[in-house]
Structure 1
Amino acid sequence: MTNVAFIGLGIMGLPMAKNLIKGGFTVTGYNRSQAAIDKLVEAGGQGASSIADAVEDADVVITMVPDSPDVAAVVQGSEGVFANAKAGALWIDNSSIRPDVAKELAEEAVAAGFGAVDAPVSGGEQGAIDGVLSIMVGGSESDFAAAQPVLDAIGKTIVHVGPSGAGQTVKAANQLIVAVNIQALAEAVVFLEAFGVDTDAALKVLGGGLAGSKVLDQKGQKMLDRDFGPGFRLALHNKDLGIVTAAARQAGITVPLGSAVAQLVTSLVARGDGGLDHSGLFKLTNELAGRD
């Protein structure tokens, strides 16, 4: 039975950790808030009082935290993963961070005697709950093979996409596609409502054609209901689109639609809506159309 330390028990992390328990792994969790740790313990996991405590006996360490600085803070320093995990442990980073940071931290992990893969996930809260996440993995072939049994417990589509940092590059592309799709869906709903169309019926038939997508399936009803409880917060998507636009600039390419949507998301976050689900793009789109 593999011992897994899971650091970051948020909207995505907690259900992922629970699925690892269901998969037969021994899971020790750490989170900044005790309430999330308590929920993991209720599900059959174990709680830790610190990162060092969580990783002490772990064969695999998973991090699922918001941003590049958060990952670095968790793994580096005297209280971090690299200083306290046992030699030969495998580090899986399921966070979504900058590709260059992922590569640098993986190199540091390997130098310290650990395996390392960047394995960001897509599928939102429901995908995490159902254990059907799409996982794009960067790292060596051997580390990917070692990570596969663990990733199988939390995901459905698991693909090795290249060396360290490649997983994060593919995740950035994923977030670009999702953001543009959400904005297009928001505009379509505003358009339909302006003409008084039966929107439930409209989304049903649109979902069966070429316009159909997981974004439509998961976010369409939220827009109709004006229900923007977070499955994936706008603040996090804002961070991800910042990664996309910065990386595109570095590569010397343009992402015109992505850049435009990034500005809309930034506007929502700046006015205090960063805690809403990213389907909350509908709010601003509706307002720009002069509708309530």
Structure 2
Amino acid sequence: MKTVKEVAWVGLGKLGLPMAKRIVEGGFQVRGFDLSAERLDLAQAVNIRAFKDLATAVEACPIVFVSIPDDKALLGLTLGAGELIRHMAPASVLVETSTVSIEASAKVAEAAAARGIHYLRSPVSGNPVAAQNGTLSAMVSGPAQAFESVRPVLETFTAVQSWLGEAEQARYAKLAINLMIAVSAGMLAEALAMSRKGGIAWEDMLQLVSSSAVGSPMVKYKTQPLAQRDFSSTFDCSQMAKDLDLILNCTRTAGVSAPLAAQMRETYSSLIAMGHGGDDYIATVHHTETLSGLPAIEATHDRGDK
């Protein structure tokens, strides 16, 4: 593939837009498409060429990135009414960055191959802040040569690009990572509830956890919002529930025992029923505190409960 100067980006949501913006800042031209006029306006404000027509947006582009919410949106965009694959040029590269099922991804792979399009599964790990800072992690699978051709673009919005194989390996990797995040959120909630019962101040325990051997990047990132009891979403409980459904389907199909995944899916079902579906996934603390008979901490500097 010749040196790429222009790419297309389909899906300018909370993650898609900052990723596309990073590509522009990396010196590439970006064509953007989204069903939302508001998102297109935001794209134009950061020097992305906004298109209202999908076919025109991707026409003759050597690389087309996609960032969408779920299986239904992916299949509708690529194989259904959107007909993205039909509009793409043969020998171009389709880079799909979302968290979707192995089954949906495989359908896209089959359709792309029939059209002579190189298909890269490239889900990313991180949140909108990481996207803005260019520190996402990309898990990539698909043709190795296509990966190498796309890598300079990926490097504009990711800190790490891991090629894992020729098929659906990246999908398994992303679901595995999200399983660990969900279980970590449950584990953290139980640990914090136990420490409150033991009379340890809320902020003291958060600081201790953050600086301890279990102070993962995820835990460190969530320490400050938890200290302030701020559950504004970077990735909400409903989204985590959706991903856990994908994880459980994957583990059933693969014959993997996953009791922790099943338990966390029930936790997030409870959180959604409690009205916390739109809260950040770390709202697991609400669930555990309720079951433990602990009142919610209202003030930022509350010193905990015995």
Output the TM-score relative to the length of structure 1: 0.94
Q: How does 1:186-205 map to 2 (within 5 A)?
A: 186-205=189-208
Q: Which one is further off, 171-180 or 187-196?
A: 187-196
Q: How does 1:247-266 map to 2 (within 5 A)?
A: 247-266=250-269
Q: Residue 164 of structure 1 corresponds to which residue in structure 2?
A: 167
Conserved 8 A contact 2:235-2:281: yes
For each residue in 1:145-183, what CA deviation from the matched residue of structure 2 results, as whole angstroms up to 9, or x when unmatched? Answer: 122111111111110111221101100000100000111
Instruction: Compute the displacement of 1:239 (Å).
Output: 1.2
Match of 2:43 among 40, 43, 47: 40
Q: Residue 134 of structure 1 corresponds to which residue in structure 2?
A: 137
Match of 1:58 among 58, 61, 73: 61
Instruction: Compute the displacement of 1:272 (Å).
Output: 3.9
CA RMSD of superposed structures (Å) = 1.6
Instruction: Compute the displacement of 1:108 (Å).
Output: 1.2
Amino acid at match of 1:290: G
CA distance in 1, matches of 2:221, 2:81: 42
Amino acid at match of 2:64: V
Aligned residues: 292
Match of 1:15 among 10, 13, 18: 18
Indicate yes or no: 2:248 matched with 1:245.
yes
Instruction: Compute the displacement of 1:191 (Å).
Output: 2.3
CA distance in 2, matches of 1:56, 1:254: 45
Match of 1:207 among 204, 207, 210: 210
For each residue in 1:178-230, what CA deviation from the matched residue of structure 2 results, as whole angstroms up to 9, or x when unmatched? Answer: 00011111222222333342333332232222111122112232223221111
CA distance in 2, matches of 1:78, 1:65: 15
Instruction: Compute the displacement of 1:2 (Å).
Output: 2.3
Amino acid at match of 1:226: R
Q: How does 1:1-292 map to 2 (within 5 A)?
A: 2-77=5-80, 79-292=82-295
What SS class does the counterpart of residue 162 from structure 1 fall into?
coil
Larger Rg: 2
Instruction: Compute the displacement of 1:103 (Å).
Output: 2.1
Note the residue ranges of structure 1 that are not aligned, 5 or more in a row.
Answer: none
Q: Residue 300 of structure 2 corresponds to which residue in structure 1?
A: none
Conserved 8 A contact 1:3-1:57: no
CA distance in 1, matches of 2:271, 2:209: 27
Amino acid at match of 2:9: F
CA distance in 2, matches of 1:267, 1:74: 32
Q: 1:22 to 1:257 in 2, by over 3 A?
A: same
CA distance in 2, matches of 1:208, 1:83: 51
Amino acid at match of 2:33: Y
Amino acid at match of 2:56: D
Conserved 8 A contact 1:180-1:258: yes
CA distance in 1, matches of 2:81, 2:194: 55
Conserved 8 A contact 1:175-1:240: yes
CA distance in 1, matches of 2:274, 2:48: 39
Instruction: Compute the displacement of 1:36 (Å).
Output: 1.6
CA distance in 2, matches of 1:18, 1:64: 13
CA distance in 2, matches of 1:11, 1:193: 35
Q: 1:53 to 1:272 in 2, by over 3 A?
A: farther
Instruction: Compute the displacement of 1:238 (Å).
Output: 1.0
CA distance in 2, matches of 1:75, 1:259: 31
Amino acid at match of 2:24: I
Q: Which one is further off, 282-291 or 108-117?
A: 282-291
CA distance in 1, matches of 2:8, 2:126: 22
